[in-house]
């Protein structure tokens, strides 16, 4: 089978390898679509993410779906829940499986990801998808789940106003999910005009281009909003969230910063009594919630995928990811 392996920062290569053999409780999946995301970008550009580094050629990819290729469910279309938490530790038992320190997470070293023709993964983490979720859109369910978890952390309620700062795919899904949940006016910012256009198409009411200093025009008279989301992984976006959220409000940090460091004006946050919450991945229920929202038409996946690549064109796909010229880049490993 074909496999894309990251050897070092900026160095991704195609390999030919044997198909994996499913273990106990696992099924073989023919991977049809893998979305590239911000964490994949960090791995590719920096050779690691946070404290984790690439020590040997490694397979990325965790936003994925495919068709079961073994067992009684052969032929079933599924989305792959990438996090296999232990289910036994204190963190898991308290309902925070997304924070499990023993988790095996696809595409996060050392657990191989989905950029391969086939993957073997626990059966209970292969979730059937309805026909309303077509083709490659199955790879969009995981980032939608990430957005839903972030919204839960914000303590959002219908009618609240919101700010979303960073309009890549996660930010866009936050906007779409907020709109589906009955949000009041939503404001958004991004340095890329095509992403602001996508934010408006997704339901944002007021969009502004960030300036050379990273702050959107008029940031000091923008807001206040009830909840704010930093979805860019940049200090400037975090400061925008702190400046535009109401006094006593909540800021949810979703973006992953370069070099594993964030900074913000502490006096501003302290004097206004802000609560800053960091979001990590999603909880198991959010994937199921994402499926239900899309199935009933509450959240649209339309227009999010802007390019598709066969696995043999992996370097081109990652080059586009680095350029940020589109929205969601998808690799199709089994085509």
120-136 residue pLDDT tens? 999 999 999 999 999 99
Q: What is the average pLDDT across 178-200?
A: 96
Comparing C-alpha atoms, which of 317, 254, 284, 281 is closest to residue 34?
317
Mean pLDDT of the chain: 92
Query: The pTM is what?
Result: 0.94
Distance of CA 97 to the CA centre of its chain: 17
**Other Cβ atoms within 10 Å of 271 Cβ, number:** 10
Residue 52 has pLDDT above 80, yes or no: no
Q: How does pLDDT run across 222-279, given as a tens digit for each residue?
A: 879 999 999 998 899 999 999 999 999 999 999 988 877 888 889 989 999 999 999 9
In DSSP terms, 329 is beta-bridged to: 36, 307
pLDDT value of residue 117: 97
Residue 317 has pLDDT above 80, yes or no: yes
Beta strand pairing status for 186-190 and 206-209? parallel
Residue 97 has pLDDT above 90, yes or no: no
pLDDT value of residue 257: 84
In DSSP terms, 174 is beta-bridged to: none
pLDDT value of residue 262: 87
290 — pLDDT class (breaks 50, 70, 90)? very high
CB distance 15 to 129 below 8 Å: no
Burial 176-197 (b: 16+ CB within 10 A, else e): bbbbbbebeebbbbbbeeebbe
As given in the structure block, the two tokens for residue 43 are 């791995």
153 — pLDDT class (breaks 50, 70, 90)? very high
pLDDT value of residue 260: 77
pLDDT value of residue 213: 67
Catalogue all structural domains in the chain, each as residue range(s) with its CATH number.
2-133+301-332 (3.90.180.10), 144-278 (3.40.50.720)
Burial 51-78 (b: 16+ CB within 10 A, else e): eeebeeebbbbbbbbbbbbbeebeebbb
Provide the CB-side half-sphere exposure for 89 (13 A, CA): 13
pLDDT value of residue 43: 85
User: Comparing 219-228, 274-283, 285-294, which segment has the lowest mean pLDDT?
Assistant: 219-228
* Residues constituting the chain: 335
pLDDT value of residue 74: 94
Sign of the torsion formed by the C-alpha atoms of 37, 274, 163 and 154 = positive
Q: How does pLDDT run across 98-115, given as a tens digit for each residue?
A: 888 888 889 888 889 999
Question: Which residue matches tokens 């206040």?
Answer: 224
Bigger pLDDT: 217 vs 63? 63
212 — pLDDT class (breaks 50, 70, 90)? low
CA atoms of 142 and 10, how far apart (whole Å): 25
* Alpha helices per DSSP H over the chain: 38-46, 90-93, 141-153, 169-180, 193-202, 235-244, 266-271, 284-295, 314-323
Bigger pLDDT: 42 vs 241? 241
Residue 162 has pLDDT above 80, yes or no: yes
Rounded alpha-carbon distances, angstroms, from residue 175 to 65, 151, 168, 171, 172 = 23, 10, 11, 6, 5
147 — pLDDT class (breaks 50, 70, 90)? very high
pLDDT value of residue 46: 84
- What is the full DSSP assignment across 38-58? HHHHHHHHHSEETTEE--S-B
CA atoms of 273 and 88, how far apart (whole Å): 36
302 — pLDDT class (breaks 50, 70, 90)? very high
Residue 50 has pLDDT above 80, yes or no: no
CA atoms of 247 and 225, how far apart (whole Å): 9
């Amino acid at each position: 089978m074909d496999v894309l392996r990251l050897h070092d920062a900026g160095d991704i290569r195609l390999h030919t390898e044997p198909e994996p053999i499913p273990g106990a409780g696992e099924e073989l999946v023919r991977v049809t679509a893998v979305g590239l995301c911000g964490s994949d970008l960090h791995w590719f550009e920096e050779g690691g993410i946070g404290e984790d580094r690439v020590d040997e050629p490694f397979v990325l990819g965790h936003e994925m779906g495919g068709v079961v290729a073994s067992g009684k469910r052969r032929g079933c279309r599924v989305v792959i829940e990438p996090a296999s938490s232990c289910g036994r530790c204190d963190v898991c038992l308290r309902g925070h499986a997304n924070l499990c320190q023993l988790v095996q997470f696809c595409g996060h070293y050392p657990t191989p990801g989905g950029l391969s023709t086939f993957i073997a993964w626990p059966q209970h983490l292969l979730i059937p998808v309805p026909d309303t979720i077509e083709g490659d859109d199955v790879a969009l369910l995981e980032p939608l789940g990430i957005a839903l978890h972030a919204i839960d952390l914000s303590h959002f309620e219908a009618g609240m106003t919101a700010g979303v700062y960073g309009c890549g795919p996660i930010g866009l899904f936050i906007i779409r999910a907020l709109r589906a949940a009955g949000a009041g006016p939503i404001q958004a910012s991004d340095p890329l005009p095509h992403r602001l256009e996508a934010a408006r198409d997704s339901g944002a009411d007021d969009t502004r281009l960030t300036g050379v200093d990273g702050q959107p025009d008029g940031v000091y008279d923008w807001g206040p909003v009830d909840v704010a989301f930093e979805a860019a992984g940049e200090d400037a976006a975090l400061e925008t969230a702190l400046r535009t959220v109401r006094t006593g409000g909540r800021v949810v940090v979703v973006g992953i910063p370069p070099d594993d460091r964030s900074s913000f004006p502490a006096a501003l946050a302290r004097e206004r009594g802000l609560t800053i919450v960091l979001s990590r991945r999603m909880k198991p229920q959010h994937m199921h919630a994402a499926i239900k929202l899309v199935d009933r038409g509450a959240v649209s996946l339309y227009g999010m995928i802007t390019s598709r690549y066969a696995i043999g064109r992996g370097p081109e796909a990652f080059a586009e990811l680095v350029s940020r010229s589109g929205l969601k880049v998808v690799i199709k490993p089994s085509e």
